[in-house]
Amino acid sequence: MVERFLPSDKKREMLQKANVVTNPEYGTPPNERQIEDYIKNGIVNIDKPPGPTSHEVVSWVKKILNVKKAGHAGTLELPSEA
């Protein structure tokens, strides 16, 4: 399989400036968030069906997951439009 790269795929080097640790008493690594919190800070990669608009899909997802607010990151242009 051919690897297809976007510029951001390039391996990036880190510079370590200080040697400090983080206190486990506050904050949570993203994958360890409590489920309600995890959902409220979450992203879903949805294969949008061709009929409904993105706006409709967003409102369905809000109903399914019971969240008050949600947004989407782009729609496709339709080939049939001028």
> With binding defined as CB under 8 A, does residue 51 bind another protein?
no
**Residue 79 Cβ, how far from another protein at the closest point, in Å?**
5
For residues 55 to 74, the per-residue mask of contacts with another protein, x marking binding by CB under 8 A and - elsewhere, is --xx-xx--xx-xxxxxxxx
Instruction: Please work out the total of residues on this chain that contact another protein, with binding judged by CB under 8 A.
Output: 55
Binding of another protein by 53 (CB under 8 A) = no
**Cα→Cα distances 39→10, 17, 47, 55, 72, Å:** 30, 33, 19, 19, 15
State the residue for tokens 């640790």.
21
At 60, is the secondary structure helix, strand, or coil?
helix
